[in-house]
Amino acid sequence: MLDERTFNARLVTVLTSRERTFYWAKTRTKRAMKALKSPTSRETGLAITMVLILTAGVIVWDITHRDLPATGVESPVEATAADGWLVSLDNSSEGWRVVVIDLSNPRQEIELEHQELDRNSTFDTGWDMLTVANNTTAHVYNLAESQANPWVLNVSYPSEIHLAEWLGHGIVLLLVEEGVLRGITLDGEAVVVPAAPTPGAFISTMAVHDNRLALVYDDQPATVRLGRVGSASVSDQPLSFNATEEENALLESWGQVVDEVNATIVQLDLDYDWLVAAVNVTAVDRLVIVDLERGESWLISDAKFPAHDPAVGHGIVVWASQWNLNPSDPKADYLDHEIWYLDIENGAVNPEHLTDDNLEQRQPSVLENHFIWITTDADGNSMTTIHSRQIELETYSSRALQLAVISTIILTGIFSWQKMKETSPSESQREEE
Ligand SMILES: [Ca+2]
């Protein structure tokens, strides 16, 4: 029907002779109707192909559209997720608020009555608990019992708040107030936490996993101090963030300053086995991973390109990268961040990316079944994106798949029957001869 060798001739016919075109269309339609009335194996074969192509199309569309925006969040500026809960700080039209979503039912947001918040408000989630702090009070909610009253504790301008575990005592709160770490139980009693390793050293950033702490103090900003809730001491964990001479020479040839001597850890995260840190060497922030059992560390992203917002969990490192960005000649395509991950537990060596577009993606986190990050478009509209780690077919595509299986079985049956019918007369003739 669509033979490209005769296409030009047909086009000329269509353009020059309406009568002939009409006649051609009429005979073709008649022929098609006749074929439909008494279909042969050719039509059935075509139908099977169509069913397979359409079904494949539906499924491919479904699995390539796995990201969904978190419901009820208007303009998230920060998001964190743990143990099946996603929490976003939302700069909504009704003011600053915290939006909670149960990831097992992501289309429904959970209403939370909380104190007045602003851009500096800090929050954390873990063990089905959520804590939210403004400058003067911290509220702690049990998300599994949303009707219960929250614990309310006094705080003093915390820059960070974390939920942590104190072995034998349960969940406690950790606060960084004017660079000093303070621990309190939910009843407001003091908890023993690491003291500053040198007098007067302030905390610049920290991370918590259960009762384990990773702290960065300004006396040695390129060293991680590892500690625990319930213990006052810390141990030093150095990081290997040095690039090769060639890589540093290339950065300098781009007009960048590489200052590895005065490197500073700007962000970090840890789980039971791994610690990840973004280390600023002036030119770029580099991504370093630490094997906590062995105490070894190494770079896991290209030392020449900026890597931000590292997070680790479930054996996977995830971060936001400006891969390929040359700061002296910034190409628009490389200015926005993409979400990259490395499946370190399964021995992956090469990072892979989850996004590849011109939108800005930041602040990723990794959960048992999901990746979460914040997506912002060119107009500054942001949303919390939920990306499923498992390929789960939506209802419409699993229905399409079921329907396709049934119709393919039926059509294949018809096809074989038609083939038999079409070939049998000639065979019987041959037998007669
Ligand atoms: Ca992007």
Tokens at residue 342, please? 């490395």
pTM of the model: 0.75
Tokens at residue 10, please? 């047909």
Q: Ligand 1 center to residue 93 CA distance, Å?
A: 26
Q: Which pLDDT belongs to residue 395?
A: 79
User: Containing H/E element for 334?
Assistant: helix 332-335
Q: Ligand 1 center to residue 362 CA distance, Å?
A: 9
Q: Which pLDDT belongs to residue 5?
A: 58
Q: Ligand 1 center to residue 356 CA distance, Å?
A: 5
Q: Ligand 1 center to residue 278 CA distance, Å?
A: 19
Q: Ligand 1 center to residue 82 CA distance, Å?
A: 24
Return mean pLDDT, the chain: 87
Residues 204, 208, 194, 176: is their CA dihedral positive or negative? positive
Nearest alpha-carbon partner for 219 in 172, 174, 179, 166: 179
Q: Ligand 1 center to residue 63 CA distance, Å?
A: 19
Q: Ligand 1 center to residue 364 CA distance, Å?
A: 12
Q: Ligand 1 center to residue 67 CA distance, Å?
A: 14
Question: In the chain, pLDDT over 70 holds for what percent of residues?
Answer: 93
* Cβ 248 vs Cβ 282: under 8 Å: no
Q: In what order do the strands lie in the sheet with 352-353?
A: 307-313, 316-321, 338-343, 352-353
427: buried, middle or exposed (CB in 10 Å: 19+, 13-18, 0-12)? exposed
Tokens at residue 314, please? 């479930």
Tokens at residue 385, please? 């994106």
Q: Ligand 1 center to residue 336 CA distance, Å?
A: 5
Question: pLDDT: is 394 or 313 the higher one?
Answer: 313
Q: What does the domain layout of the chain look like in residue ranges? A: 1-31, 46-66+398-433, 239-358
Q: What is the DSSP letter of 239?
A: -
Q: Ligand 1 center to residue 360 CA distance, Å?
A: 5
Q: Ligand 1 center to residue 153 CA distance, Å?
A: 40
Does residue 201 carry a pLDDT above 80? Answer: yes
Location of structure tokens 């011109």:
358
Q: Ligand 1 center to residue 99 CA distance, Å?
A: 24
Q: Ligand 1 center to residue 244 CA distance, Å?
A: 28
Q: Ligand 1 center to residue 42 CA distance, Å?
A: 47
Q: Ligand 1 center to residue 359 CA distance, Å?
A: 4
* Cβ 168 vs Cβ 133: under 8 Å: no
Q: Which pLDDT belongs to residue 397?
A: 77
Q: Which long-range contacts (CB under 8 A, 24 or more apart) does 241-248 make?
A: 241/279, 241/281, 241/286, 241/288, 241/299, 243/286, 243/299, 243/303, 243/304, 244/303, 247/303, 247/304, 248/303
| pLDDT average, residue stretch 62-77 | 75
Question: pLDDT: is 399 or 319 the higher one?
Answer: 319
Q: Ligand 1 center to residue 308 CA distance, Å?
A: 13
- The identity of residue 396, as a single letter, is Y
| pLDDT average, residue stretch 221-247 | 93
DSSP codes joined into one string, 241-308:
-PPPHHHHHHHHHTT--B-STT-EEEEEEE-SSEEEEEEE-BS-EEEEEEETTTTEEEE-S-TTS-EE
- 297-344: pLDDT as tens digits: 999 988 888 899 999 999 999 999 988 787 777 777 778 899 999 999
Q: Ligand 1 center to residue 361 CA distance, Å?
A: 5
Tell me how far apart the alpha carbons of residues 56 and 368 are, in angstroms, rounded to a whole number. 28
Does residue 432 carry a pLDDT above 70? Answer: no
Question: pLDDT: is 404 or 11 the higher one?
Answer: 404
